[in-house]
Amino acid sequence: MSLLCFILVSLLPRVIAIPLRFPITSEFGDPDNMLPEETIEEKFARSDANHDGKLTFDEFLHIERLYEQIMWDEFTEYDQNKDGVVSRDEYEGRLSAQAEKISDEKAKYFGRIYEDFDEDFDLELNPTEVQNILRQRFLLETRSNFPEIFAAFDEDQSGGLSIGEYIKFDANIPFYEMDPVRMSTTIPKMNAKSEKLPGMKPLKMVKQN
């Protein structure tokens, strides 16, 4: 949970007012506008709103302009009607939309995993199929102890990982128990897919000579 989310969820009033140090049309609304560098003295003077030579906690929160811009950008995402405040309905609506989007992206991601690698279409991934995933998507080779690792995630001991079991494996891959694919190893060509989890960059395969 972001710092802004934590602050908002802890406040009880129906409408949450946030004191802003810059207008909506300022440089903070332009992602291509680089912030000028400031000296220590300039940072302090800008943050000292009442010019008393001391910073309150509220003033101190504004001392880093980049942090302030990040928080402003996030605030405007919640403030759907652009009235300068975030209502509880806007707050809850934004979080619900984010949760739904993440859920959809995860469903697409894991659905594509089974579509690409479940070769016998039994909705379970056997050890060989999981090794193919590791090799093609993570560029990892397993070691001799892979059967033990696989068995630890195969909770029902069926010999294959169900979707629920694979989700746990995907989130807890023991990278330290595996080795990088050697550059001389021929990696089967994988289809270029557009699906990815939020915040995850698409995997780029290194062209083999």
In terms of phi and psi (left: phi > 0; alpha: psi -120 to 50; beta: otherwise), the region of 53 is left
Residues 147, 128: contact at Cβ < 8 Å? Answer: no
Residue 158 backbone phi and psi in degrees, to 5 = -90, -10
Residue 14 C-alpha from the chain's centroid: 29
- pLDDT value for 201: 45
Alpha-carbon distances of 28 from 16, 160, 162, 200, rounded to whole Å = 21, 51, 47, 26
Task: Please state, as a whole number, how many other Cβ atoms lie within 10 Å of the Cβ of residue 77.
Answer: 14
As a whole number of angstroms, the distance between CA 86 and CA 81 comes to: 9
pLDDT tens, N- to C-terminus, the chain (209 residues): 444 443 333 433 333 333 444 444 444 445 455 667 889 999 999 999 999 999 999 999 899 988 888 888 999 999 999 999 999 999 999 999 888 888 889 899 999 999 999 999 999 999 999 999 999 999 999 999 999 999 999 999 999 999 999 999 999 999 999 999 987 555 555 554 444 444 444 444 444 44
pTM, rounded to two decimals:
0.49
As a whole number of angstroms, the distance between CA 202 and CA 171 comes to: 17
- pLDDT value for 187: 52
- pLDDT value for 186: 52
As a whole number of angstroms, the distance between CA 79 and CA 87 comes to: 8
